[in-house]
Amino acid sequence: MIMKKIDIRNATRADIPFVAESVLAAIDLYDFTGECAELESTVKVCSEDDTLYSYKNARIAEVDGTAAGCLISYNGNGYAESREKTFAMFAEMGIHINIGGAETGPGEYYLDSMAVKPEYRGLQLGHLLMEDALNLARRSGDCLKAGLLVEKGKPRLKDYYARIGFSIEKEMEAFGSRFYKMTLVL
């Protein structure tokens, strides 16, 4: 078995296209191959410093120096303003998203979007990115809990989050789908 070097680091401006691809993959609009109508718009949103999907909110999992996975996460204290800007930018570009209720807020560290390229699945990159984000949350000092959404139609994912300590707080509608809002006390 060949050992692979795995590193997790902050995204840089050079990672913006990969961050955008990961955001779209997380919502099942992209599979890291071919064309995607929303990619150019999402790159613009990820290029900004103060949007939800900003590259500044992204951590990259590299395998042997190649970006293989990404997790967007952030402190919920600035969520309302970033949410407004994010979806206003999409609307200005002709992409209208039925966003639903607020996903997070003050006192919560939110794990927003995660994706791993198919050829790197099975290396536990998602788990490593989750552990990394939870460590960031604990170090932030002003978050009492971590939160995330999981689609109701993905029971294996819900069970995975439960195994690492998340519990269902409520059900909610967002982006036209039903979700469990799951939280973990930090």
Tens of pLDDT along the chain (186 residues) come to: 677 899 999 999 999 999 999 999 998 889 999 889 999 999 999 999 999 999 999 999 999 999 999 999 999 999 999 999 999 999 999 888 777 889 999 999 999 999 999 999 999 999 999 999 999 999 988 899 999 999 999 999 999 999 999 999 999 988 888 999 999 999
> Quick one: pLDDT at residue 100?
81
> Quick one: pLDDT at residue 146?
97
| Residue 110: C-alpha distances to residues 81, 98, 167, 184 (Å) | 15, 20, 14, 10
How many angstroms separate the CA atoms of 94 and 90, rounded?
6
> Quick one: pLDDT at residue 1?
60
Farthest-apart Cα atoms in the chain, separation: 50
> Quick one: pLDDT at residue 149?
96
Token representation of residue 12? 């840089």
Parallel, antiparallel or unpaired: strands 145-151 and 108-116: parallel
> Quick one: pLDDT at residue 27?
87
pTM for the model: 0.94
